[in-house]
Each structure stands twice: as C-alpha cells, then as structure tokens.
Amino acid sequence: MYVILTLLAALFAMGTCVYHRVRLVVGAAVTVLVTLVVGLLAHTIMLTIVLLLIELLVVVPLMTPGFRRRQISGPLLKAYAKVTPTLSETEQTALDAGTVGFEGELFSGKPDWNQLLRQPRPALSSEEQAFMDGPVEELCAMVDDWQICHELADLPPEVWEFAKKNKFFGMIIPKQYGGLQFSALAHSAVLQKLASVSSTLSTTVAVPNSLGPAELLMHYGTAEQKDHYLPRLAVGEEIPCFALTGTYAGSDATSIPDYGIVCKQAHDAVETLGVKLSFEKRYITLAPIATVVGLAFRMYDPEHLLGDKEDLGITLALLPRSTPGLQIGRRHFPLNVPFQNGPVHGKGVFAPLSSLIGGPQMAGHGWRMLVECLSVGRAISLPSSAVGAMRASTIASGIYARMRKQFGLAIARFEGVEETLARIGGITYASMALSRATAAAVDRGEKPAVSSAISKYHTTEWARTVAGGTMDIHGGKAVQLGPKNYVGNGWCSIPIAITVEGANIMTRCLMIFGQGAIRCHPYVLKEMQALSIGDYGTRLREFDKALFGHIGFACSNVLRSLVMGLSGGRLGAAAGDASVRPYYRKLNRYSAALALCADVFMGVLGGKLKFKEKLSARLGDVLSYLYIASAMLKYYEDSQCPKADRPLLAWGFHECIWQIQNALRGAIGNFPLRPVAWLLRLFVFPLGCLEAPPSDRLGHRVAALLTEPNEARERLAEWVYLTPSPHNTIGRMNALFPEVVAAEPLERKFLKALKTGRFKSHEYEEQLAEAQASGVLDQTEHDLLKQVHTNVFEFISVDDFDSSELCAVVTRADKRA
C-alpha cells in the first residue's frame, strides 16, 4: 500500500506540474520534493531512492542545454527539416500580413479569460451616434427596395447624391482628406442599418470603405496620390472599384493571368516609362459606374528597364476611367440584386509608372498590400451586412409569427415555428457578438486575418440559415414578390455574400485552420522560422527552445484534455459570475482538446494535412466555434450581464459546444491512422460524446423573447432601421407590435363568444359590433380589435399584378420615363 502511495504521489506531483505548465526546473524540484517527503513518511526508503534516481536521470539531461541540443534537438532538427513543407512566398506573405488576437489564446489550451475581459468595451462616439441618428436614418427613409430591385435596377439618383454629399463613401478616409474617419465599429453599425433595408444599398456603401483604392492609398499611396484621390473619394467625386477576380483566377488570386509589360511609350505627347496592360476582370462591384479602377496584375520587365529582375510579381495600379483602351460600363446581374457590378477589360492599355499605387518602388508588392488590407475589410463589410439582414429578419419573423393566426392561434404558438424562431434568434445573437468582436479587433489596431475569416464564413452561412427560417415562418407571404414582400430580396442576396472575398468553401477548408494552426499555435511558427536561420548554432538554439516548449505544451494538453473530459469541464478556476462560469470551463476543456488534436494531426500527417481539407475544415470549425462562444461571453459581459439575454446566450453557447463536439468527433473519426484516432478519442472524449444541442425548453424561452416586447429583443433590434415610413414595412409592423400583443387576450375572449353561436353575422367588423352590443367587448376593446385587424391585414397580404406589369425591367423603366 505504501509503495503504491509513493508512486501515486510522485505521479500526481509530476502530472500537476505538467497540467499547470510549470517550468521544468520548478516542476522537477516539486516532484523530487514530494517523492522524498512521501517516501520518508511512508517508510519506503528503497523505492524512494529508485524514484529519485529515475527522476534525476530524466531531468538532468533535459536541463543540460549542450547535451540536450546534441543528443535530442540536433537529430530532430534534421528530421523536422525533411518533413516540414517549405512555405511558398505567397503563403509566407499571407502569414506575415496578419496579427493574432484572442484566437491565439483559444489555441493555447489554457485561455487567459482576463485578457479577453480586459479589452475595452466597444462603443460609438457621440459623432458616430449622431451620424447614425441623422444621415443614416435619412438615407434609410429614402430607400424603396422594390423600386431599386424591380423598377430601376439601381439606386435612385437622389440616393446616390445623398450618400455622396454625406460622405458615406468616405467613412474610412481620414478627416485631413475630408473623410469621416469613423471607427470600425461605426463602419459596421452603418452597414448593419443599411442592410436592414436594402442589400443593394449596403453593398454600394460597403465597397468603397472595404478593400479598394481608398484603403490601399491610405496605407501605401504616395503623398501625391493621397492628396489627389482621397478628397475626391471622400465626397463621391470619384467612385472607385477594385479589379482582382478574373476568368481564370477567382479565389486563387495569386495565379492571375492579367499582366503588364514595362515599356516606354508616348503619354500626353511625352515619352514615358510605364506598363502596357492586358487584363480580363469580372464580378467587379461598382465597375459600371466607377471613375477610377484599381487593378491587380502581374508585372514583367523583359527589357530590364527597372532592374535585373524580369518577373516583378503582382502589382497594383490606379486607372482613370478615361484611360484609352479601358473597356468598362457593362453590367452583370447578380441574382436580381442590382448593385453595380460588371466586367473590366483592356488590351494594350498603357499606364505610366506613376499610376502604380505607392509608385514604382511598390512594384511587385501587390500581394502583400492586398492581404494586409483584406483582413481588415473582410472583418467589417460582409459580416456587418449579413448581421444587419439577420437582425431585421429576426425582428420581422417574431412580429409576423405573432400577427399571423392559424387554427385560432398565433403561429408563434406552434412548436415547429417556435423551433425555427429559436434557431434564428440564437444564431442572430451569436452573429451580433461575432461581428462586434472582429470590429473591436480592428479598432484595437489588429489585422485579424484568422478571426476575419471566421467572421466572414460564419455570418454569411448563418445568414443563409436565418433567411431560410424566415422564409419558412412567412410561408407564401415570402414567396410572392412585390412591394409588400420584405423577405424575398434578402433571400436572393444571400448566395452572393457566400461566394465573394474568398468563397466560403475555400475559407472553411483552407484558411481558418490552415492559417490559424500556424499563426495561433505558440510554437509551430517559431519552429518553422528556425529552419530559415542561416547560422547552424543559432538555428539549433532557437529550434531547441521552441521544440521543448512545444513538448511541454503538448504534454500539458494531453493531461488537460483528459482531466477536463473526465470532469465534464467542471474543474478549475473560471471567469464570470455563477451563471456563466460553467461556460468558461467548457471552453477551457475544448481549447485543450483543439490544441491536442492540432498537434497530433500536424505531427502525424505533416505536410499532407494541407491536402486533407475535410480534416482541416473540421478543426477550423472547432476554432471558429470557440471564438464565437468567446465573443458571445464578451458581448454579454460588455452589456452588463443582462438577465434577459441569458436564454439567447445559452442557446448560442450550447449550439457552439454541440458543433465543437461534432467537429472533433468527425475529425477523429476520419483520421487515417486508426490507432492514433483511438488514443485521441480516449483523451478527448474519455466518457463519450455527452454534449447536446439546445433543448426544446431553452428554445421556447428564446422564441418567447422574439414574440413579445422586452429589453433583450430591443438589443437584437439595435442598428435595425425601424422608423415607421411608407417603404419600411418592418418598421410599421414594429410600431403595431405592442397593440397586437395587447389585443391577443381580447381576441381569445371574442373567439370564445363567437364559438357559442350568439353572433349572426359572418363579417368580422359586424361580429365585433355584435360583441360590443352584447357586452362581450367594451368600446375601447372593440376599437383596439378593429384597428389591429385592419392594420394586420396589410402585413399578411401579398401583391398581385396585371400581366402587363410583369414585363422586362427596361420596358417598365421606359414607361416610367
């Protein structure tokens, strides 16, 4: 018994030190001391001596740098160099371009939640809030989305003019150049409110403030370029577009076939050094009306007019619309959502070197310029537009489900509808938090490459889910297009966001984990960087330091994953109050599981993991849902932990944990080396897969929040245009909503009396009159029911047309003229 006790004490001491990631020297001292004390107390002297000798034989060589490097790290360095794939210049540029935020903590297996909670609470400035309350409200009131999509196929001229005058296209441009210089949060808030009324409008405003000429000029432009273009861009005097995607290069932007040959040619009657460009671009937003075109191309210098290098690489230039040979103006028609989008072509188009963004010295640096700016733009534009549409859909669905009656009940009372309401409510809450988190990261000065990919992918995918749920709840109302249909245009726009700025399939399979594993892992990038060091001694020293840090990290995650798996994530200190502390502990558990699986997958598969896209995608899902759950907790804390929001937080959190479990189970279940998979399953799921999706009871509570006035619903409706106006159906519905709720008990009383057969009339208003005459309703109740019935009829009605009204858009526009 005493022998077993001594062994267990030694193992426990060592395991505790590894679990808590104690330094090797401290851990060794603690293990030796515990072994000695317990051995003496248990009178197991010989066993104690043996254990101490074993411990010293293991620890002393590891603590001797020279021996460790010669006998362990040196041979491993050679083996590592053989199996580690060499990063291409493109991949290295992408890795160098971004920064790591809290997602790095989630990859650590031991997140520091205080780091997350110490981040400042994002908030709009008084100037930004005034813009939201003033120009943004005014612009939303001007919009008739039916007119935009089905009559004009464009924004009305007065909307264009108002947007330019009020600098909607200059939100990111500094004030010194006449722009608004808004925060990323304000940029996001504006796009969300615009997207709640028209995806065409939000897209039109998003593009000049996202990846494009303004962003690129601000970071890389010459002083002359900034002084010339930025003031014009800020007030809409210049309309920009950026031409990257081509016929043969979409998501694989680095393989663009468009090229420019350095040459001399007469330009404005003066022989000028420049590039002769040939390009074929498509899907370029704002191109049909753009006055200045940003162009990405590969630059060649066969005559060596600029130096010894012939292939200079991807380069960016600005071409005025008036450039001879530039073919621009034709339009694509993306799914009946008529934001300006079209092709840009050119053959033998000459541009002087002064047109290169940043001047001739930036030739060949275009890919770096793009990826450095892309993460910032991708973190704001598409996620914000998706979240704005989701918020509007969620609010509208809750109201409609309360207005629409079937079988004598509001359809919100049916469990099938309730389940859908819960799903769109929980997803919208999670998306709000995710979008806010990425905007806040940009405002803190980060370049969130990984988290922006997470935000773009999940908000646009979830927008598809919310749009589908909204269609289900509205039924035939959502199918019949017309001015009364506030759902159909949004449904049409959903696939567009999924395909742009990195198609979602590629983003999930290649980017989130592919970049996250290297960027966020505390040691992998350091090990890879060590390989590139020229001096062998320095290379070995840096590799040794990273290697043994990695070994300790991996051992800790094995123990942490197993222990927290056995305890169900209930052990250890955690942040937050009693209501959310279990959530932080769950995330601790799955953070350790992700770190363990990532190490095993990368260690066993090596460079082959790059081509195992389904495995990479599942691990990316784990990282994504950890980040989303963290964002929800931060949003909840920033909102002062409102009790009313707890059902929304709980639904979103349990959905994330359920998806994490499924992703880990899928990744382990499909790992090609089965013995390794069996061991992983033991450490990650020692008691099996016990997580469950959000319960029906929780879903009922979420649905209830959407179908009655309350503070949680008001927070969901933040940054949604709800001012009642002629073209804002959702705003008018929302204004009627309290009366609809107040009328429900009166309707039940009226229907109960109606079932007795005491009313002779078959017309609703006459039946109401009979109910009042018989004392079932008083005058106030009669008036309320009549008013609600009349107003609700407008919102549940659909449009119909004469056949002649359904002719082509061009014909109708001609008739209007």
* Angstrom distances, CA of residue 307 to CA of 222, 360, 361: 21, 12, 11
The answer to whether 218 touches 377, Cβ cutoff 8 Å, is no
The dihedral sign for the CA sequence 730, 735, 739, 742:
positive
Block residue for tokens 């989701």 = 390
Residue among 66, 63, 64, 56 at smallest CA distance from 35 = 56
In 10 A of CB 531, how many CB atoms? 15
Cα–Cα distance measured from residue 690 to residue 683, given in angstroms and rounded to the nearest whole number = 14
* Angstrom distances, CA of residue 319 to CA of 128, 190, 258, 352, 364: 33, 29, 15, 10, 17
Cα–Cα distance measured from residue 110 to residue 237, given in angstroms and rounded to the nearest whole number = 51
* Pairing mode of beta strands 311-320, 292-300: antiparallel
- DSSP state string for 181-240: ---HHHHHHHHHHHHTT-HHHHHHHHGGGSTTHHHHHHHH--HHHHHHHHHHHHTTSS-E
The answer to whether 230 touches 179, Cβ cutoff 8 Å, is yes
Residue among 328, 436, 308, 343 at smallest CA distance from 383 = 436
In 10 A of CB 774, how many CB atoms? 11
Could you give the angle at the alpha carbon of 505 between the alpha carbons of 499 and 506, nearest 5°?
95
Amino acid at 591: S
The answer to whether 309 touches 281, Cβ cutoff 8 Å, is no
Cα 273 → chain centroid = 43
Per-residue exposure over 63-81, b if at least 16 CB sit within 10 Å of its own CB, e if not: eeeeebbeebbeeebeebe
Cα–Cα distance measured from residue 506 to residue 577, given in angstroms and rounded to the nearest whole number = 39
Active site residue 501: yes
* Pairing mode of beta strands 259-267, 270-285: antiparallel
The dihedral sign for the CA sequence 287, 290, 294, 299:
positive
Residue among 192, 201, 202 at smallest CA distance from 147 = 201
Cα–Cα distance measured from residue 47 to residue 397, given in angstroms and rounded to the nearest whole number = 71
Residue among 363, 346, 422, 378 at smallest CA distance from 97 = 378
From the candidates 128, 238, 501, 781, give the one annotated as an active-site residue. Answer: 501
* Pairing mode of beta strands 405-406, 311-320: unpaired
Helix (H, G, I), strand (E, B) or coil at 812: helix
* Angstrom distances, CA of residue 164 to CA of 21, 101, 169, 204: 56, 35, 6, 11
The answer to whether 90 touches 367, Cβ cutoff 8 Å, is yes
The dihedral sign for the CA sequence 801, 806, 812, 815:
negative
* Angstrom distances, CA of residue 134 to CA of 130, 137, 178, 560: 6, 5, 19, 52
Cα–Cα distance measured from residue 395 to residue 730, given in angstroms and rounded to the nearest whole number = 8
Amino acid at 388: G
Amino acid at 564: M
Cα 461 → chain centroid = 9
Q: What percentage of the chain's residues is helix, strand, coil (to nearest 5)?
A: 65, 10, 25
Query: So which residues are the catalytic ones?
Result: 501
